[in-house]
Structure 1
Amino acid sequence: MTALKTGRRFRWILASVLLFVVIAFFGGRYLLLSKIRDTLHNRLGDLRSKGIYIKFKSAKINTWSGDLNISDLQVSVGLDTTNRDFSAAIPFLQVSGFKIIPFIKNRTISIKNVALEDPALSFRLNVKAPESETRNAFFEDLYINRITITGSSFLLKDSVSQDTIAHVKSDFFVEHLGLERVNDSLAWRQSSVHIQGFAFDLPKERYAFSVKDVRLDLEKHTFEVDTFKMTPKLTRKQFMRENGKEIDYIKAVIPYIKVSGFSLRGNPGIAVDIRKIRTQLFMEVYRDKRLPFIKDKRTTLPSNFVQRLPFDLNIDTLRLDEGLVSYEEFPEKGDSSGAVFFDKLQATVIGISNTKAPDKQTVMHAKSKFMGKGELSVDFTFPADTTKPYTAKGSLKNFPMVKLNDMLGPAAKVRVESGTMTNLKFNFKYNVYRSDGNVELNYEDLRIISLRQNSKKEIKVSMIKTLLLNTFILKKDAQEDDKDDSKTGTILFYRDQKRSIFNYWWKSIFSGIKSAYKIDKLQEFTEDLKKNDRAKPSKR
C-alpha cells in the first residue's frame, strides 16, 4: 500500500514538473517574443530621430511556431525627406522557425527560413556613413537555413541629380547563411549563394548586361558564373553618332567562369585569394577611325592596374579554355572596313598578385589561329615592380598572306597577290613610354600590288609603285641573298598613353615589320621619281 502511494505521488510530481516545463517553455516563449516585439517597437521610435524610418501595414507574430509575417514593409534612411540615402519597399516578408533556446542560451539567432517577395531597393551614392556608437550587441551569432528573395529590383542613384546609375533585377537564394561576431565585426561562416536571372542596366551607358546564373559556395570555395552577355543597345551607326568620337563597339559572351579555391578575408583589409579560374570568351569589336579620338584619361598598363586595386588579390592560375576575338576597323581614309580575328584562342596566366615580392612577375602564354590559318604563339611577362620593363615575344607560322587583304582593305592602297609567312618572330621590351626589340621575317613567293584611285573613284593597279614594291622594296623570298635588303627589322615605338595595351603591342610589332619591309623606302622612291619627272626638259 505504501509503495502504491509512493508511485502515485511520484507520477503526480513528474506530471507537475512536465506541466511546469511546458508552461514555462511556451509562456517564456510568448513573453520573450512579446518582449522582442515591444523592444523593436520602442527601437523604431529611437531610429526616427536619426533619420531611419520603418513602417509596415501589418505584422503578425506566431509565438508557438516562431513565425513573423510583415506586409508592405517600407524602410528609408536619410534626413533629407526628398532624397533618401536608402529606401526599400517589400510587399511581403516572412520569417519562420525562429528558435528560442539558442537565443536564451548564448544570444544566437537561429532561423529556418526568410522569404522576401518583389523587394525594391534604392541606394544613393557618396553617402557619408553615420558615426559608429557604442552599444551592446543584440546577438552574437546568426544562422539562417535559407533565404529566398524573388523578383528583386535594386536601383543605384546619383547623389545629386537622383538619376539612376544602375538598375539590377534578379532572384536570390542563400543557404546556410552564418555570421559570427568577431570583436566588433561580423565574419562570414560557410554559406552558399545562388542568383538567377541576373540582369543589370546602366541607363547612362549604351550597353545591357545579363547573367543567366551565379553560384557562390563558401564551404566548397567555389564561384561560378553561367553565360555573361554584354550587348549594345544601339546599332553601330546610332552608337557612333551618339558618342561622336572614336570608341569601341563591343559584343561579348562569356559562356562560363569557374573559380576554385576561392576565399575572401576581411581582417584587417579585404583580400581575395583564388587558386584557379577557367573561362571562355567570344567577343566582337568594331571601331570607326573616321571619328575624332577624344580621351582624357591615360590607359594603365596591366601591372600598374593590379597594384592600384583597393584590395589584396592573389590568383594562382587564370586559364582561357577557348575563345574567339575579332576586330573590325573602318579606316580614317577609305570606303570600307577591314577585319582580323583570332580563332581557337587559348591562354594561361600564372601568378596574378599585388602582394608578391618586387622581384616576382606574372607570366602569360597564349596561342590561336590568326585569321583562321596562321599559328600564333605569344609569351608575355608583367613585372610586380612597375618600374621594370615588360617583355613580349612570339611567332606567327604558316600564314597565307592573302588573308591580310581582309584587314588591309582599299584604304591601305595595297593588295597581297601571293605569299606565305613561314615564320615571323618578334621579341621586345616595353615600359610606360616606349618599346624596343626586333622582328625576323621568313616568307615565300611574296607578291604585292599597289592600288590607286582614279578620277572616277575607281580602284586601279598602280604599275609604277607595284614595280617598285616587288623589285626594290620586297624580295620574292626572304631567303634570297641581297646585301641591300634584310629579313630583320627593328622595333621602336613611342606609346600613345591614351591607347589600349593591345594597340601598344600591335604598333610595336608593326614598327618592326615596317622596318624589315622598308615600307618607308617606297615613299622615297616615289618622291625621287616625281622629282626626276619634273627635272626632265619638256619636248616641243
Structure 2
Amino acid sequence: MKKLGIALILLVVLSIAGTHFLENWLSQRIPEILNEQKDRDYDLIFEEINIHLLQRKVDLHAIRLVPLNDSVNTKVNGSFRDISMSGLDLLKIIVERKLEINELKIVEPSLRLIQKNKKGNAQESSMAFQLLFQDIISRGEIKDVILVNGTAEFFTDLDSLVRIGQFTDLNLNIHGLKTDSALIKEDIPFRLESLEANLKNIEYAVNSNQQLKVEELNYNSQEKEMTFKGIGFTYKKGILAALKQSEHQMDLIEFGVKEFKLIHIDTQSSIYGDLSLIAGLATIDSLELIDLRDKNKPRPSEPVKPMFEGIIEKIPFPLRLDTIRIQNSKISYQEIGEGNTQPADLSFENVSAELYNVLTTDSLQQGKTMTLNSRAKLRGHADVEMDIQVPYGNDVFQLEATISGFNLPAINELFAKMGKFRVDSGILLGLRLTMDAQKYSSRNTLAFDYRELKLEMIPDDDSKKGLNTLINSAANLFTSKENIPNSTNYKTARYSTSRNVYRGPFNLIWESSKEGLMEIVPVGIARTFIGGRKK
C-alpha cells in the first residue's frame, strides 16, 4: 500500500509537472503558429496567454494588430481586448503545428482604418475589413466565429490624418465556417452555414460637405435579409447653407429613410471587391427627400443628363431588384424662382410606389420593361397617381398621370412663387396627362377640367399696381372660367415639349405639365402675362 501511495503521488506530481511543461510549451508554440504564415498581412501581438488544457481552450489578452504591408493603399491597425480559442485539437498543434478550433471569440476589437488615397471610398474600406478578417481566420481551421462589441474609425492620410467615418457595436455570429473555401464569391466571400451581423452608428463623409449616417444595420444569411435603419444623407451645415455657398445653379439633395430592407438576397450578391446586388424585394419605409434648386444662380457647364434608363445604367455595379416598394414617404421639390429669396415647395406626401425590374446589366435588360406605379397627395390636398413604363434599350419612357379634384386656392403659395399669379377662386375637377417621351422631346396630351376660375397676377413692382389691375382684368377677360367635359367649349391639349437635356426626366414631366396648362387656361393676352409655352 505504501508503494502504491508513493506511485500515486509520483503520478500526480508528474501529471502536474507535465501539465505545467505542456502549458509552457504551448505558450511558446501557439504564438509562433499564429504569426508564421509568410503571406500574412498582420501580426497578432499579445501581452498575456492562458492555457486551459482540460477545457482545450486558450485565452489571449491585450492583443495588438500590427500591419506588415506598408505598400497597400488601405490598412487597418488596432487592438482586441481578448481572443478565446475553444475546442482546440491539442494533438494537431503538437504534431502538425496546426490550429483546429471549434470556436474563435474576439472580444471588443477596436480598429483604425487609414486610406492613403484621397479617392478612397466606403467600398474600399469594406474590402479592407474583409481582407483583415480573412487574414485572421486563415491561421487555422475554424468552425464558428463570434465577434463582440467591435468599433472602428476611418481616416484619410493627407498632410495629417482626417477622420472620415466610424461604426460601433459590431457583433458577428458565424456558424459552419469553411476557411479552405475563403475565395469563393458568395454574399460574403467565405463558405458558411449561417451569418448574423449587426452594427450601429455608421458614419461616412461622402465629401467635405456631405455625410451619410446609418443608425443600425442587420444581416441574416439564413433569412437572406439585410436591414438598414435610420439612414440620413445630409449636408453637414444644412441644405440651405450649402445652397448659399454653391456658385452655380444645381439640384441639391438630402434624404432620410426610417428603414430600408433587402429581402431574398441572392448568393451571387457581394458587398466586397466587385460589388453586386441581386435581391427579390427592396422595401423603403418613410423616405423624406428634398431636392432644392436656386434659379437665381448662373448655370454651370453641365453634362447632358440621362433619362430613366440612363440613370439606372449609371449605377456603378451590377444590380438586379425584382421589386422596390416605397411607403409612408414624402418627396419635396423646392425651387427658388428668379427674383425670389424663398423656395416654392412642390411636395408630395403619403407617397407609395412599386418599381419593377430595376436592372443594370445589358443581358438582363433585353426585352424587359422597368415599371413605376406610384400614388401620393399633392401638398396634402389632391390624390396623384403616376404610372411610368421604361422599355430597356431605347432611352424612352411613357407616362400616365392623374390628379383628383380640389380647391385650387389651397395651393396659392405654390402658384405665387412659381407662376407669379394666384387663384382667387377655382375648383379642379381632374387632371390627366399622358406623355410619350423621347431623348429630346415628348408628345403629350393633357386634360384639365375645372370651373369658377378667377386669376390674379402678382406684380413684381408695387409701384405698378394700377397697371397690374389692368393686367388682371385683361387676363380674366381672356381666360376661360371653366373647362368641363361635354361642354361646348371643352378643350384638351395635344402638344410637344422640347426637353432640356441638362435636366433630368422629372423636369421634362414638370415642364410638359405646365405647357399643357397654359394651352388650356390662359388664352390670348393672358398667356403672355402668365408666361405660356416657350417656342
Q: By the TM > 0.5 criterion, same fold? A: yes
Displacement of 1:84: 6.4
Aligned to 1:73: 64
Hey, what's the Cα distance between the residues in 2 that align with 1:396 and 1:323? 18
Q: Is 2:422 aligned against 1:415? A: yes
Q: Given the superposition, is the C-alpha separation of residues 22 and 499 from structure 1 closer, same or farther in structure 2, using an over 3 Å criterion? A: farther
Q: Given the superposition, is the C-alpha separation of residues 270 and 479 from structure 1 closer, same or farther in structure 2, using an over 3 Å criterion? A: closer
Q: Is 2:174 aligned against 1:176? A: yes
Hey, what's the Cα distance between the residues in 2 that align with 1:204 and 1:223? 26
Q: Given the superposition, is the C-alpha separation of residues 41 and 412 from structure 1 closer, same or farther in structure 2, using an over 3 Å criterion? A: closer
Hey, what's the Cα distance between the residues in 2 that align with 1:236 and 1:302? 25
Aligned to 1:122: 114
Letter in 1 for 2:190: A
With structure 1 as the length reference, what TM-score do the two structures score?
0.77
1:205-244 Cα shifts (integer Å, max 9, x gaps): 4334332221100011111122223343224553223223
Hey, what's the Cα distance between the residues in 1 that align with 2:305 and 2:82? 47
Displacement of 1:331: 0.9
Q: Given the superposition, is the C-alpha separation of residues 446 and 25 from structure 1 closer, same or farther in structure 2, using an over 3 Å criterion? A: farther
Equivalent pair of 1:317/1:349 in contact (CA under 8 Å):
yes
Hey, what's the Cα distance between the residues in 2 that align with 1:383 and 1:69? 59
The aligned runs of 1:283-432 (5 Å cut-off) are 283-294=289-300, 296-355=302-361, 356-385=364-393, 387=394, 389-409=396-416, 412-432=419-439
1:300 is paired with a residue whose SS is coil
The aligned runs of 1:71-110 (5 Å cut-off) are 71=62, 73-79=64-70, 85-90=74-79, 92-97=81-86, 99-100=88-89, 109-110=101-102
1:164-218 Cα shifts (integer Å, max 9, x gaps): 4831222211112554334954534243344343231417343343322211000
Aligned to 2:164: 166
Q: Given the superposition, is the C-alpha separation of residues 93 and 491 from structure 1 closer, same or farther in structure 2, using an over 3 Å criterion? A: farther
Q: Given the superposition, is the C-alpha separation of residues 278 and 455 from structure 1 closer, same or farther in structure 2, using an over 3 Å criterion? A: closer
Equivalent pair of 1:329/1:337 in contact (CA under 8 Å):
yes
Aligned to 1:467: 473
Equivalent pair of 2:167/2:199 in contact (CA under 8 Å):
no
Aligned to 1:511: 515
Unaligned runs of 5+ in 1: 1-11, 528-540
1:468 is paired with a residue whose SS is helix
Equivalent pair of 1:60/1:68 in contact (CA under 8 Å):
yes
Hey, what's the Cα distance between the residues in 1 that align with 2:91 and 2:473? 91
Hey, what's the Cα distance between the residues in 2 that align with 1:273 and 1:146? 27
1:432 is paired with a residue whose SS is coil
Q: Given the superposition, is the C-alpha separation of residues 27 and 359 from structure 1 closer, same or farther in structure 2, using an over 3 Å criterion? A: farther
Moved more, 389-398 or 25-34: 25-34
Equivalent pair of 2:444/2:497 in contact (CA under 8 Å):
no
Choose 1 or 2 for highest CA Rg: 1
Residue of structure 1 aligned with 2:51, choices 56, 59, 62: 62
Q: Given the superposition, is the C-alpha separation of residues 306 and 337 from structure 1 closer, same or farther in structure 2, using an over 3 Å criterion? A: closer
Aligned to 1:210: 213
Equivalent pair of 2:239/2:252 in contact (CA under 8 Å):
yes
Equivalent pair of 1:328/1:340 in contact (CA under 8 Å):
yes
Displacement of 1:147: 1.0
Equivalent pair of 2:174/2:196 in contact (CA under 8 Å):
no
Letter in 2 for 1:487: K
Equivalent pair of 2:27/2:49 in contact (CA under 8 Å):
no
Q: Given the superposition, is the C-alpha separation of residues 455 and 323 from structure 1 closer, same or farther in structure 2, using an over 3 Å criterion? A: closer
Equivalent pair of 1:102/1:108 in contact (CA under 8 Å):
no
Displacement of 1:346: 0.9
Unaligned runs of 5+ in 2: 1-6, 132-136
Q: State, as a whole percentage, how many aligned pairs show the same letter.
A: 14
1:49-90 Cα shifts (integer Å, max 9, x gaps): x9x56474625252624324242514235446xx96413122
Residue of structure 1 aligned with 2:264, choices 258, 261, 272: 261
Letter in 2 for 1:71: A
Hey, what's the Cα distance between the residues in 1 that align with 2:345 and 2:523? 21
Q: Given the superposition, is the C-alpha separation of residues 96 and 255 from structure 1 closer, same or farther in structure 2, using an over 3 Å criterion? A: same
Equivalent pair of 1:378/1:394 in contact (CA under 8 Å):
yes
Displacement of 1:99: 2.8
Calculate the aligned-residue CA RMSD, in Å.
4.2
Hey, what's the Cα distance between the residues in 1 that align with 2:139 and 2:233? 42
Q: Is 2:156 aligned against 1:157? A: yes
Displacement of 1:417: 0.9
Aligned to 1:198: 201
Equivalent pair of 2:424/2:456 in contact (CA under 8 Å):
yes
Equivalent pair of 1:67/1:98 in contact (CA under 8 Å):
no
Aligned to 2:31: 37
Displacement of 1:392: 0.9
Q: Given the superposition, is the C-alpha separation of residues 315 and 33 from structure 1 closer, same or farther in structure 2, using an over 3 Å criterion? A: farther
